[in-house]
Amino acid sequence: MFNLVHFLLFVLHHLLQAQALTLPQDISALKAFKSSIKQSSIPSWSCLASWDFSDDPCAVPHRTRFICSVSCSPDATRITQITLDPIGYSGQLTPLISQLTQLTTLDLSDNYFFGRIPSSISSLRNLQTLTLTSNSFSGSIPDSVTALKSLETLDLSHNALSGKLPKSLNSLTSLKRLDLSYNKLTGFLPKLSLNLLELALKANSLSGYVSKSTFDGLTRLEVVELNDNSFSGTLGAWFFLLPSLQQVDLANNSFTHVEISKPAGGNSDLVAVNLGFNKIEGNLPANFAHYPMLSSLSLRYNRLRGAIPLGYSKKKSLRRLFLDGNFLIGTPPTEFFAGDTEVTGSLGDNCLRGCPANSQLCSPRQKSYAICKRAYSGKPRS
């Protein structure tokens, strides 16, 4: 009798687990999500192929159905995560995704989704991670995305998105990581979220000035990647004084001037700066030598003149220095060519004198005297 009671309890326990648990609206949303993906792009061995709705999505254990790509709440009633396997699913993101109101993660990266991002995504008020990178989404970024107050990571990089950035990006008060790189976005930078740690907008068609008002209050910002756009004008001294800044890539834009101040109290976390391939004029910014942790600096292929500041050669933290492709004159500091130097990079394609031909730093060779003479409207100064 004792064994029979235990057996019946065991059977009852598993029957209860097999009952439908997931909220009907979540199940209908999952069905719509799967049906919006081309059947021909769903291999039989894939996660999505295991989404068999003859079973409840949140029933456990998952042995043959819903084995991956979907996660549920602890009480097994709501869908909380969709993380697709990156195997080339092709289709559109259904507007009915909005029914999954307890969703915290939506990751469709490295597939072939196309069409617009539905504006109904604004209903996902608990969403913390939205990752749609490496697909073929097109159209503009819906303004409704700024209603996602819990969002911490927004990655829409490597798509075909166009139009302007949403004006109220700063209303994403929880946002820490924003990556919209490798799209076709245009227009200016709007004001950004105060909690932002990483900003990546590289390889778009963004333009205008990088203004202080855009970055005002971003005391936690560590990484800025705005390279390969059309930003112009002067980069103000305030920029490199952002208190948590570590890595900056502004290469391949149209900046004409850059202002550099000494860091406050001599303290800065700045490690790497790339300002190469712009239109920056004037002398090399000597104050970069006062950034204690700076190890990589590129100002290559600009319109810089004058001598190389002596402080660059005395900076112990500096490991990579690219100043090639400018109009620098004079003799480069001898410390760059000492036997124990650890600096790599290039001082080539300038108007320098006495740059040792056997040094890797002096490659490629210097500009011709005629080019340098024209640049200085006469004889280059020593």
CB atoms under 10 Å from CB of 274, counted, come to 21
Cβ neighbourhood burial of 238 (10 Å; 0-12, 13-18, 19+): middle
Instruction: Report whether 279 contacts 255 (CB < 8 A).
Output: yes
For residue 310, the surrounding DSSP H or E stretch is helix 310-313
Cα 131 to Cα 69, 107, 156, 245, distances in angstroms: 14, 5, 6, 24
Q: Position 289: which residue type? A: A
pLDDT at residue 20, as a whole number: 53
**Helix locations, 158-233, DSSP H:** 212-215
pLDDT at residue 377, as a whole number: 83
Domains of the chain by start residue, with CATH: 70-344 (3.80.10.10)
Cα three-residue angle 295-158-220, rounded to 5 degrees? 45
Q: In tens digits, what is the pLDDT along the chain, a chain of 382 residues?
A: 445 445 444 444 444 444 558 999 999 999 999 999 999 999 999 999 999 999 999 988 766 788 889 999 999 999 999 999 999 999 999 999 999 999 999 999 999 999 999 999 999 999 999 999 999 999 999 999 999 999 999 999 999 999 999 999 999 999 999 999 999 999 999 999 999 999 999 999 999 999 999 999 999 999 999 999 999 999 999 999 999 999 999 999 999 999 999 998 999 999 999 999 999 999 999 999 999 999 999 999 999 999 999 999 989 899 999 999 999 999 999 999 887 778 999 999 999 999 998 899 999 999 999 999 999 986 655 5
Cα 281 to Cα 47, 163, 259, 302, 303, distances in angstroms: 55, 31, 11, 7, 5
Put simply, whether the predicted model's pTM sits higher than 0.85 gets the answer: yes
pLDDT at residue 11, as a whole number: 43
